[in-house]
Amino acid sequence: MKQFPKDFLWGAGASSHQVEGNTNNNWTAWERDNSERLSREAKIRWDKWQQEKFPEMFDVRNYISGATCDHYNRFIEDFNLAKAGGHTAHRFSIEWSRVEPEEGRFDEREIEHYRKVLTALRERGIESFVTLWHWTEPIWFEQNGGWESKKSADYFCRYVEKMANSLGDLVIFWIVINEPNVVVKFGYLIGTQPPGKKSLVSFLKTYFNLLKSYKKSYELIHSLNKDAKVGFANSFVCYESDIFKPLDKIIVSIAKYFSRYFFKQTKGFNDFIGCNYYSRSLISLKKKGFSSDQRTDLGWEIYPKGIYEVLKEIKKYNLPIYITENGLADADDSKRERFIKDHLFWVRSAIEEGVNVRGYFHWSLMDNFEFPEDRGFWPRFGLIEIDFQTLKRKPRKSFYVYREIISTRGR
């Protein structure tokens, strides 16, 4: 097999609320109100083997982000590690609640903080991919009706405009929104994330306000920075079924249709596709679960070929593709090396078949507060291990494996 292209970008990702520490946003409030319930419900939420391996899931503290990795104060140390690992790109998010703590009042010191973050990356030869909204929002925004409010797009775009104006000289790649299809599902339909709603009406309002906000942001950033590359990160699950079961196949098509809907509606508003890939969902009305015994600590199936299936599926849009997330919860680091190698094998196969993949971001640079669906600290996604008592960083074995892959361009 050939090596990866010379200009292929290699890196890892993180998001503000998961790593910075001491944020004050809608999730902070949610954690305060729900941590006790979550520690009790761990007994019914997780399998026996998970409960035995990760008893910390019964501890209330598991569900409170608190200082998390203190990346806000230690970003230099973390970027030095990324650099030592050979990374040439890094994905992170701006914490909206820091830069606009009160409605319409921007905090210039916090903006300056992100300028320092961007400059530190630039000084290390690391390309920044900046996420503008990775699910956390200022308390005032939520109090004003959040994404259900008619004014949400105006509020969000005011923030986007300010960021594009203040940081645009240091940023080319903007990821406006992270996984819109996931955040609206869990926050507004299933109710396991803030604001905890279970309403189809709220879900639809949010969905379309997000769509509107995204498209407006795309235009806004381009009007301010003509060289900017703007897109969003979409969660692409590989849906499959037993090909002999027609009913399962119909369900697969429906699942695919809805999970790709947001993306399809943004046609003409993407300079690239941000592809988050983690696993396959095997749809079967009869069988439960999946065939492979390879699974992560969260119980997700490890299915490397799925990344290839997804890449082949989205090739038709003729846009550059970045793998903006791909990784696993693997506390003892026994599966991460194989995981990375196998997924990259399939990424490279797709490239050889003409898919325009330009970069890969492992999720995550370091262990962090795994906030989707309130999982907390126990799932360990990092190339770098964090001791949450001392905040000491320790690169895992897979960190060095990834470094080797980067330095040989996958040979």
Where does this chain bind ligand BGC (CB under 6 A)? 15, 178-179, 182, 235, 276, 325, 363, 370, 372
Q: Which is closer to ligand BGC, CB of 111 or CB of 132?
A: 132
Residue 36, φ and ψ in degrees, nearest 5: -65, -45
Residue 143 · residue 135 · CB < 8 Å: no
Q: Which is closer to ligand BGC, CB of 260 or CB of 409?
A: 260
CA distance 262 to 212: 11
Q: At its nearest, how many Å lie between ligand BGC and the CB of residue 400? A: 23
Residue 360 · residue 8 · CB < 8 Å: yes
Q: Which is closer to ligand BGC, CB of 157 or CB of 328?
A: 328
Closest-by-Cβ residue to ligand BGC is: 372
In 134-249, the DSSP E strands lie at 173-178, 229-235, 238-241
Long-range contacts at 205-211 (CB < 8 A, ≥ 24 apart):
205/147, 205/148, 206/146, 206/147, 206/148, 207/180, 207/262, 209/147, 209/148, 209/149, 209/150, 209/152, 209/153, 210/147, 210/177, 210/180, 210/184, 210/262, 211/180, 211/262, 211/265, 211/266
Q: Which is closer to ligand BGC, CB of 192 or CB of 284?
A: 192
Q: At its nearest, how many Å lie between ligand BGC and the CB of residue 367? A: 11
Q: Which is closer to ligand BGC, CB of 12 or CB of 220?
A: 12
Q: At its nearest, how many Å lie between ligand BGC and the CB of residue 302? A: 14
Asked if the peptide bond before residue 101 counts as cis, ω within 30 degrees of 0, the response is: no
Q: Give first-to-last CA distance, the chain, whole Å.
A: 8
Q: Which is closer to ligand BGC, CB of 213 or CB of 235?
A: 235
Q: At its nearest, how many Å lie between ligand BGC and the CB of residue 15? A: 5
- The size of the chain, in residues, is 411
Percentages of the chain per state (helix, strand, coil), in multiples of 5: 50, 15, 35
Q: At its nearest, how many Å lie between ligand BGC and the CB of residue 84? A: 23
Q: At its nearest, how many Å lie between ligand BGC and the CB of residue 372? A: 5
Residue 53, φ and ψ in degrees, nearest 5: -75, -30
Q: At its nearest, how many Å lie between ligand BGC and the CB of residue 262? A: 14
Q: Which is closer to ligand BGC, CB of 148 or CB of 325?
A: 325
Angle of the 200-224 helix axis to the 246-265 helix axis, nearest 10: 40
